[in-house]
Amino acid sequence: MSDIDILTGSTERHLTDLHSGQAEGAMLVHQDIVVPLTELQQNAAASGFDLRLCSGFRSFDRQLHIWNAKLSGLRPVVDDRGALINLDLLSPWQQIQAVMRWSALPGASRHHWGTDIDIYDRAAMPADYQLQLIPAEVEGQGMFAPMHDWLDEKLADQGFYRPYGTDTGGVAPERWHISYRPLAQTFAQGLTAEVLEQRLQGTELLLLDVVLDHLDEILQRYIQVD
């Protein structure tokens, strides 16, 4: 299989299961981030944090399911404050931007690469708490804010960074999303409009024509964020 399969989440051959042998479910990540990630977790542990993953690799098909569910009203689409958005009041391109605030276009998710993960501090989480991944958990007095404040200083030591750390008008700020830069920046460069168009053509993606009309802007605002 070609590199386009890795870039667009269409293969698992670059991945390894971080939770192999553990009771919890599989957690697939790129095999080359295991060493730096383990180092980061060990450093976090030495400072009292239990840095865990709640999301690693996500496939093209999974992302396609989420995309179509949101655009067809089967899943809620919300604004920055968590309020429900009525898609009927928006143009097709506005609908796409509303979805992309929180959900990537299939083929263009950084989670396809296995280099990007969503994390939390299990040591700070009550046993009966349902993890949500919302700003209130990671900012201010949020339960995971101390670990993220620590990460602000330490993240780069192992080669990680936050691609969505600040709001540039594309994806909402996601402090819980970190990326292994040496690999991710190579993938980001490889994911061109041509690659994306080739992968999306012929799929069941809702609003495909509108997406194809805006591919360059989508890449610039939502993927090439560094």
- Where along the sequence are the contacts to Zn ion (CB under 5 A)? 118, 177
Q: b vs e for 152-169, b when ≥16 Cβ sit within 10 Å of the residue's Cβ?
A: eeebeebbbebbbbeeee
Q: How far is the CB of 2 from Zn ion (least distance, A)?
A: 25
H runs (alpha helix) in the chain:
3-7, 34-46, 60-71, 92-100, 135-138, 145-154, 181-190, 193-200, 208-213, 215-218
Q: How far apart are CA 162 and CA 179, in angstroms?
A: 6
Based on CB atoms, which residue is closest to Zn ion, 64 or 90? 64
* Angstrom distances, CA of residue 198 to CA of 134, 159, 202, 215, 225: 33, 31, 9, 12, 22
Q: How far is the CB of 225 from Zn ion (least distance, A)?
A: 12
Based on CB atoms, which residue is closest to Zn ion, 177 or 199? 177
- Position of minimal CB gap to Zn ion: 177
Q: How far is the CB of 201 from Zn ion (least distance, A)?
A: 26
Based on CB atoms, which residue is closest to Zn ion, 61 or 204? 61
Q: How many CA atoms lie within 13 A of 110 on its CB side?
A: 30
Q: How far is the CB of 116 from Zn ion (least distance, A)?
A: 6
CB atoms within 10 A of CB 22: 10
Q: How far apart are CA 135 and CA 144, in angstroms?
A: 10
Q: How far is the CB of 177 from Zn ion (least distance, A)?
A: 4
Q: How far is the CB of 102 from Zn ion (least distance, A)?
A: 10
The sheet with strand 51-55 has its strands ordered as 51-55, 116-121, 177-180, 160-161
Based on CB atoms, which residue is closest to Zn ion, 145 or 212? 145
Based on CB atoms, which residue is closest to Zn ion, 125 or 208? 125
Decide if 108 contacts 194 (C-beta within 8 A): no
